[in-house]
A and B are shown apart, each in its own frame.
Chain A
Amino acid sequence: MQSPLPTFPEQASNFAGNVDTLFSFILMTTLFFAVLVTVLIIFAAFKFRRRSEKEVGDDVHGNNVLEVGWTLIPTIIAIGIFAWGAAIYVNYRIAPKDTLDIYVIGKQWMWKLQQPNGRKEINELHVPLNRNVKLIMGSEDVIHDFYVPAFRVKMDVVPGRYNTMWFRPIKTGKYHFFCSQYCGTNHAVMGGWVTVMDPAEYAAWLSGESGDVNPAAAGERLFTQFACNTCHIANGTGRAPSLNGVFGANVLLADGSTVVADEAYIRESILQPKAKIVAGYQPVMPTFQGLVTEEQILNLTAYIKSLQSQPVPAKGGGIAPSTAGKK
């Protein structure tokens, strides 16, 4: 497998082939122009080399046709490459529905990953073959970046917000992942391995002894521990809206606008509760900035997500009337 002068890593995700095809196309195009210009220069350097000391060149000012030609042709090619690249990128940035969601936390200098059933890993990620996987990523400290060369994908992991990335592994095996955004002393060590497994194997691995509580259950515990449940009462009679069915729905805010209750919204509501107040409620919730860790926020989010299917109370839900929500 190992050639003495290796080049491309293996193509182990749905994106790898597309990215490499475009790469090769640009390589061929640029190689053509590079060779063309180089040959012209070398040809001219020989053909028009100075024959006598006092010789001068021709008296030529330029040629407008040539100028227009070598402006337009590269422009057209450039726009073509742009469009092709944009198509791949847009597909990469918009994750499909029905993904296997894995939470990722970057911190100096390790990765903590958690499977949907709660199984935790450090610097290791196990994923099933041929399944769309979405990583929901946050950082405890500085900016990191999750990069899997064999999948040809990466995304910055930025403190204060969630970034997501997705891919579909198409080849079983073990692949490097790296932190590719410089993050301090041990940046180079902050990597690990992605293991792509057959779905059956993955299921077996997932149910193997883990001892970890699944994130929703951990979140439920935190929900009581931080006394969230004293206001966010499920039947809608509390000082704060019930969270049943909130995740993914449109929430009507005090200023009349609506917002989709996604991971970022929940995170913000925990850390900066006054940023968006649900219509009909008072801004009484204290901030939990500095009191909860990124991991606990993810657990709380998972718990709130798990309430998606719970019955929404007629009053006190905070969810925008269905006319406003287009879902």
Chain B
Amino acid sequence: MRTQGTGPAPQMPETHYLNATYGIRSWLLTTDHKRIALLYLASVTFFFFIGGFFAMMIRLHLLTPNGLLLTPDMYNRMFTMHGVAMVFFFLIPSIPAVMGNFLIPLMIGAKDLAFPKVNLLSWYVYVVGGLFTLGAMIGGGLDTGWTFYTPLSTVYSNSAVAPAVIGVFIVGFSSILTGLNFLVTVHTMRAPGMTWFRLPLFVWAHYATSIVMILGTPVVAITLGLAAMERLFGLGFFNPAMGGDPILFQHLFWFYSHPAVYIMILPAMGVISELIPTFARKRLFGYHFVAAASLAIAVIGFLVWTHHMFLTGQSTYAAVAFSFLTFIVAIPSAIKTFNWTATLFGGSISFDTPMLYAFGFLGLFLIGGLTGLFLGALGVDINIHDTYFVVAHFHYIMVGGAVMGYLGGLHFWWPKITGRKYPEWLARIAAFILFIGFNFTFFPQFILGVMGMPRRYHMYPPEFQIYNVMSTAGASILAVGYLLPMVYLTWAAFYGEVAGENPWPATGLEWKTQSPPLTENFDVTPVVTWEAYDFHNRPDLGLDVPSGQGSPVVAPAHGDD
């Protein structure tokens, strides 16, 4: 990170949201969206560690064809708990509940979310759900796969299915409350002048995500509720021996869980839409198209769920229709990728760490998205469905896409969150290690899939070993790549160089208040007179706008200037 040229070194503001009040009570009973975001940050990081530990166990075990260190039952518990921890307790809440929570009010010029107490409640709901699931993991484990397919989960599994399912059921409400809060906030609390089409695309992406959260999560809650009742009371919803239909479970489950993929990736796309204009110092190319693409993904994402079920024996007509819709849902993502790329042209591009993550995201999301076309094509899916190809594909989206976006965003907004800078060179090296480690881990899995290695295998025929060894080697590099930012970001929060109000500089409203912000975010409600990512009409940023460029109407003072 560059210092801002001339002028005195920035000082930490005297009061800000972190030191406004003290004591554990002031955190646990806070209604400040920024503090709640930090509570979420701590808790999702905890689950990321748990999920990551299980992942390391899985990769170590698969080093040899007969498995290195776990019994089959232990292995099954490891991959199940890896999936549950990562999907429900890390990926789904990560960007929305941490960064969305912190930034949406700041970005739209509001003092807080619309329902601050509900926001705190949603964190407590998350914690209660998390404790249930943790309890299940410690007492008995879980071996159904994160998908909880029936009748394995409801009748045959000898693990702690009920508490785990109840935990996921509970955590869903946290998601619903967060989505509700975001929607109402964006609708009602935008600052004067912050019209819909001046909103940062991060906010648009979260708006679309919130729609999915509110419409999809109740369905999975009901589904898991039914599964819990079948497990606990023997009600025959899904068990064919009692007249139930196990495929019904899959329909209901994927009706949420496919859109849930977009809950994970849309916010990351939102982060990327902030990073690229900031570090290319240029408006995002095709703003309206990118915003519309977010909404299109949210809507069409609800219409593709049975592509997880092409080979369950579902009707051929249904499979054909859903395959078609699957190809259609890919288009908005392609539009976004092209617009991000076009933004770079004519920009003034720097290679600060967040931008490196944005580049990493583009590359990995590209591979993740394009490999989706293989799986969406019915004829190819017959072969690679339920193989490692699928595992590689969704890790490129979830880890390559969502986690790269998450880390890029954390680095970008860390100066705003903590008021301090992270060590730039160390961060660049970590980003590089992550990118290498990631590809090393997951690219070989595509080939394993093509070779026909099914997923969720605790042992495998020897011809698959070479790629498993590569993958495990990559995973150990990847682990270093994750540990580094955790260490230096934590260090930087306390000892980093003071960042100042707008170190990059960036155009969003969140950069027009002190770092870290006041509890109320802004001294005076800001008035917005510029479009998103407009560097040319922003003399306050102190950049060299070539004469003749920029509209003649120079933006007036902005509230707190």
Contact with A along B367-386 (1 / 0, CB 8 A): 10011011011111111011
Contact with A along B347-361 (1 / 0, CB 8 A): 111110000000100
Say yes or no: A184 contacts B143, CB within 8 Å: yes
B7 within 8 Å of A (CB atoms) = no
Known A44-B349, A48-B347, A189-B459; contact A66-B324, beta-carbon cutoff 8 A: no
Say yes or no: B349 contacts A50, CB within 8 Å: yes
Q: List residues of B (325-375) whose CB comes within 8 Å of A's CBs.
A: 326-328, 330-331, 334-335, 337-339, 341-342, 344-351, 359, 362-363, 366-367, 370-371, 373-374
Q: Which residue of B lies closest to A147 (CB)?
A: B454
Interface residues on A, range: 35 or more
Which of the candidate stretches B130-138, B173-181, B310-318, B490-498 sits at the interface with the other chain?
Answer: B310-318
In the assembled complex, the Cα of A71 lies from the Cα of B450 at a distance in Å of 30
B543 within 8 Å of A (CB atoms) = yes
Say yes or no: B371 contacts A30, CB within 8 Å: yes
Q: Which residue of A lies closest to B538 (CB)?
A: A56
In the assembled complex, the Cα of A277 lies from the Cα of B2 at a distance in Å of 80
**List of A residues within 8 angstroms of B76 by Cβ:** 182, 184-185, 187
Known contacts A59-B549, A156-B312; 9 additional CB pairs below 8 A are: A41-B363, A56-B536, A60-B282, A62-B286, A86-B324, A86-B378, A145-B386, A152-B382, A160-B246
A-B contact count (CB 8 A): 308
Known A48-B280, A184-B76; contact A85-B379, beta-carbon cutoff 8 A: yes
Contact residue among B5, B379, B550 (Cβ-Cβ distance under 8 Å from A86): B379
Contact residue among A22, A150, A156, A187 (Cβ-Cβ distance under 8 Å from B456): A187
In the assembled complex, the Cα of A9 lies from the Cα of B451 at a distance in Å of 6
**List of A residues within 8 angstroms of B323 by Cβ:** 82, 85-86, 89
Say yes or no: A70 contacts B156, CB within 8 Å: no
Say yes or no: A156 contacts B382, CB within 8 Å: no
Say yes or no: B374 contacts A23, CB within 8 Å: yes
**List of B residues within 8 angstroms of A84 by Cβ:** 377, 379
A interface residues with partner B (beta carbon < 8 Å): 2, 4-9, 15, 18-19, 22-23, 26-27, 29-30, 33-34, 37-38, 40-41, 44-45, 48-63, 66-67, 70-71, 74-75, 78-79, 81-82, 84-90, 92-94, 108, 141-143, 145, 147, 149-150, 152-156, 158-161, 163, 176, 178-189, 272, 289-290
Say yes or no: B311 contacts A161, CB within 8 Å: no
CB distance from B82 to the nearest CB of A (A): 13
**List of B residues within 8 angstroms of A75 by Cβ:** 328, 331
Say yes or no: B363 contacts A38, CB within 8 Å: yes
B260 within 8 Å of A (CB atoms) = no
Contact residue among A34, A48, A86, A143 (Cβ-Cβ distance under 8 Å from B348): A48
Say yes or no: B450 contacts A7, CB within 8 Å: yes
CB distance from B22 to the nearest CB of A (A): 39
In the assembled complex, the Cα of A153 lies from the Cα of B325 at a distance in Å of 23
Known A57-B348, A178-B454, A184-B76; contact A81-B373, beta-carbon cutoff 8 A: yes
